[in-house]
Amino acid sequence: MTIINQNFVMYSGETKTIVAPVTNYDGTGFDSSGATCKWVIRPDERDVQILLLKQAPDVDFSGNTLQITLNPADTAAMEGTYYHECKVTDQFGDVAIIFTGQVSIEKTGI
């Protein structure tokens, strides 16, 4: 099941870790062995242009938890509100969009 409206605010050029639980559709524990994940930022929900793509090693599973690491250079030139989406492919090749939402990136003056 996709969790929608996973919205957050951050500042451009900041280090950030996004943490999300991952479960099977029936709510049971997710076996992350052999699974891969891609997380993207796009201009909006309908636009296919990818502004930022994160995958291993910046995306890591720890048990039933997914961690996505954003480095300062990833968002240094970004400002505004964007769409983000996370897709997991399990060891059997089954694909699921696990969350979507908006990320608002504020410009810092420092």
The enclosing domain of 87 has a CATH number of: 2.60.40.10
Residue 49 within a domain: yes
Give the residue ranges of the chain where pLDDT is below 50: none
Residue 1 within a domain: no
Domain count for the chain = 1
- pLDDT, residue 43, reads 97
CA atoms within 13 A on the CB side of 59: 19
- pLDDT, residue 22, reads 87
Contact 86, 99 (CB under 8 A): yes
Structure tokens at 34: 């052999």
- pLDDT, residue 10, reads 97
- pLDDT, residue 28, reads 76
What pTM was estimated for this model as a whole?
A: 0.91
